[in-house]
Amino acid sequence: METEAWVGKQGGLAAALVVLLVLVFAQWMAPSLAEAQNAGAPQPTTEPPPGYAGSEACIECHKDPAATFAKTVHHKLFLKHPRTDKERLGCEACHGPGLAHGEAEGKTLDGLKTFGKKSPLSVAEQNAICLECHQKTARLYWQGGPHESRDLACTDCHKIMEAVSERRQLAKATVIETCSQCHIQRRAQLMRSSHMPLREGKMDCVSCHNPHGTATEKQLKANSVNEVCYTCHAEKRGPFLWEHPPVTESCSNCHDPHGSNHEKLLKVAKPRLCQQCHVESRHPTRPHDPFTRFVFNRSCTNCHSQIHGSNHPSAAGRFQR
């Protein structure tokens, strides 16, 4: 029996060795087979279409912009490793045919598309050029969104010809600096004592918002304010046996996510925050001694510690456990 087992084991090893040799041979032969299959296939032409000068002609005159453009992601796509016929057009994929411009030695811009505030093209026409490629996923709701309806151009937030940021081709070094060009008040709120960790670089504006448009209010990336907050604060999701109505409605009823001078991003200091709703119930709004349990330290949450919701059967809606 031991001899038969040994023979069976050796046979299995031999079979495995044969399979391994076949796989190695197939991998070695794969490039040759691919070359043979592609031998008769039509190869993409490098000649520019009629009316186009080619990227080499553009670079010959525009050497300084070409030098900064060489450090960008688009340079790799359009000039180094193009994947589609449009990308193979290089510079003229975005700027349009430039043969007439080159033959006139730069004295005419006929047929060329320029970008920026001095461009003869409208903002919508400029954006349409970018959306020829960037029209899916995050840009699905761009049309009709707050930024599109306010004539915000893609080039207001993104630099195409130079690498200013490490990612996303932003006009400024970071997302916060880019958004702060318009949202100055939000940038000021980040300087408050209680703030989200944006200044520390642990998150940024696009952690909660999609600047290219969404189907939700405030361009939130989730269906509601609470759903956005739950992506980090999962312990506040519940479900709870005893739910606090303002909490389940919106976290922003009590918190200001962009920054506050009160603890925990609260909009108003306790106990005034709680007394906006709890006016004459249980503990009335009469003045208290500043050292009593109703005002001192954590105020209302000295006793009602589970203010976001409680699962204790004896809590009876008071959020004390």
pLDDT in tens, 244-274: 999 999 999 999 999 999 999 999 998 889 8
Answer with the one of 72, 103, 134 that is the final residue of a domain: 103
Peptide bond into 290 cis (omega under 30): no
Check whether residue 168 and residue 89 sit in a common domain.
Answer: no
Nearest to residue 187, comparing CAs of 219, 147, 178, 253?
178
**Residue 230, amino acid:** Y
Nearest to residue 245, comparing CAs of 319, 320, 300?
319
Domain encompassing residue 96: 58-103
pLDDT above 80 (res 47) = no
Mean pLDDT of the chain: 85
Mean pLDDT of 43-72: 85
Burial environment of residue 138 by CB neighbours within 10 A (0 to 12, 13 to 18, 19 or more): middle
Mean pLDDT of 120-137: 91
Instruction: State residue 146's pLDDT score.
Output: 93
Instruction: State residue 30's pLDDT score.
Output: 58
pLDDT above 80 (res 187) = yes
* Number of domains observed in the structure of the chain: 3
Check whether residue 153 and residue 208 sit in a common domain.
Answer: yes
Place 280 in a pLDDT band, splitting at 50, 70 and 90: confident
Instruction: State residue 25's pLDDT score.
Output: 64
Two tokens at 34? 């691919």
Indicate the pTM of the whole model: 0.77
In a domain, 25, yes or no: no
Check whether residue 140 and residue 209 sit in a common domain.
Answer: yes
Place 152 in a pLDDT band, splitting at 50, 70 and 90: very high
Query: Within its chain, how far is the Cα of 47 from the centroid?
Result: 37
In a domain, 253, yes or no: yes
Tell me the percentage of the chain whose pLDDT exceeds 70: 87
Instruction: State residue 7's pLDDT score.
Output: 40
Instruction: State residue 11's pLDDT score.
Output: 58
Check whether residue 194 and residue 282 sit in a common domain.
Answer: no
Answer with the one of 221, 244, 272 that is the final residue of a domain: 221
Mean pLDDT of 307-320: 84
Spatial separation of the C-alpha atoms in residues 298 and 287, rounded to whole Å: 17
